[in-house]
């Protein structure tokens, strides 16, 4: 492709010629336009007399300004979460909490769904855009798979019966940019709200689905290694499981998920 000769011809469709010229430059690797005159960057610059008068350097010691005391946001989160005396109060506290950058890019605060008196509380992984738009955990195709998995052992997020109900929550109330893994700082900042949520709901069993949820509750990661192995957190039995997100990408792992569901059913 070459540059059209009529690029500056006012009688022709000059914009088409200009577009063609731009595409040609891009194809040959030109990405920056600096000036019309060529510049040889290997030429040594001519030494010029500086018009700025020489000033003797001041060798007196520089005294740095005193650092302003800043409240540790994790301590603040712990204090605010601990002050909540009910699940509703904890939700309102989280809505008003503005010390996490993730909140700035979110549409909603994803908190919980289901019966808070359920025997089983399920903590989901970091939410995605579909959860953010709905303001609820486990939505979209992942939510459909989630509902089918637990329906197979007689549990549901929609039933009012505590014996057959699920109480769903999210490890993070807001999605991460580009669905990246949450940082250790983000997990530490939001963990007090999750821990207080568990204390207020007081379930008999907790299921953590995914690495973020596992780190938040058990302070360890490696969900593929931990799945199916019961642990304890906050005095409550905890079962790590693979998330529906992982199962959709790796259908062969559904066999392991079924074994974990049967383990939960046996406990119930």
pLDDT at 65: 44
pLDDT at 52: 46
What is the per-residue pLDDT across 2-44, written as a single tens digit (0 to 9) for each?
Answer: 555 555 555 555 666 676 776 666 566 665 656 666 666 566 6
Of the candidates 198, 183, 200, which has an alpha carbon nearest to the alpha carbon of residue 238?
198
218 CB contacts (<8 Å, ≥6 apart)? 208, 226, 231, 233, 238, 240
- The answer on pLDDT for 62 being more than 60 is no
User: What's the pLDDT band for 116 if we cut at 50, 70, 90?
Assistant: very high
Task: Report the alpha-carbon distance of residue 90 to residue 101 in Å, rounded.
Answer: 19
User: What's the pLDDT band for 72 if we cut at 50, 70, 90?
Assistant: confident
What average pLDDT does the chain have?
Answer: 85
- The answer on pLDDT for 150 being more than 70 is yes
Of the candidates 118, 128, 41, 129, which has an alpha carbon nearest to the alpha carbon of residue 87?
118
| Proportion of the chain above pLDDT 90, given as a percent | 71
């Amino acid at each position: 492709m070459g540059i059209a000769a009529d690029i500056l011809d006012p009688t022709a469709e000059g914009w088409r010629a200009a577009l063609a010229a731009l595409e040609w430059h891009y194809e040959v690797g030109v990405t920056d336009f600096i000036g019309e005159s060529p510049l040889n960057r290997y030429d040594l610059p001519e030494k010029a007399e500086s018009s700025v008068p020489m000033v003797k350097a001041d060798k007196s010691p520089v005294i740095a300004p005193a650092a302003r005391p800043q409240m540790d946001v994790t301590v603040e989160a712990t204090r605010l979460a601990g002050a909540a005396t009910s699940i509703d109060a904890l939700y309102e506290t989280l809505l008003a909490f503005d010390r996490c950058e993730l909140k700035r890019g979110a549409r909603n605060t994803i908190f919980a769904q289901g019966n808070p008196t359920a025997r089983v509380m399920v903590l989901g992984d970091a939410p995605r855009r579909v959860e953010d738009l709905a303001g609820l955990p486990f939505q979209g195709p992942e939510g459909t798979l989630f509902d089918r998995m637990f329906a197979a052992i007689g549990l549901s997020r929609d039933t009012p019966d505590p014996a057959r109900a699920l109480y769903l929550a999210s490890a993070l109330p807001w999605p991460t940019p580009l669905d990246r893994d949450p940082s250790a700082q983000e997990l530490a900042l939001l963990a007090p709200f999750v821990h207080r949520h568990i204390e207020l709901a007081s379930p008999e069993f907790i299921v953590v689905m995914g690495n973020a949820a596992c780190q938040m509750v058990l302070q360890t990661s490696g969900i593929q290694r931990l799945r199916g192995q019961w642990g304890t957190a906050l005095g409550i039995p905890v079962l790590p499981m693979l998330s529906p997100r992982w199962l959709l990408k790796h259908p062969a792992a559904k066999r392991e998920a079924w074994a974990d569901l049967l383990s939960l059913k046996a406990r119930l």
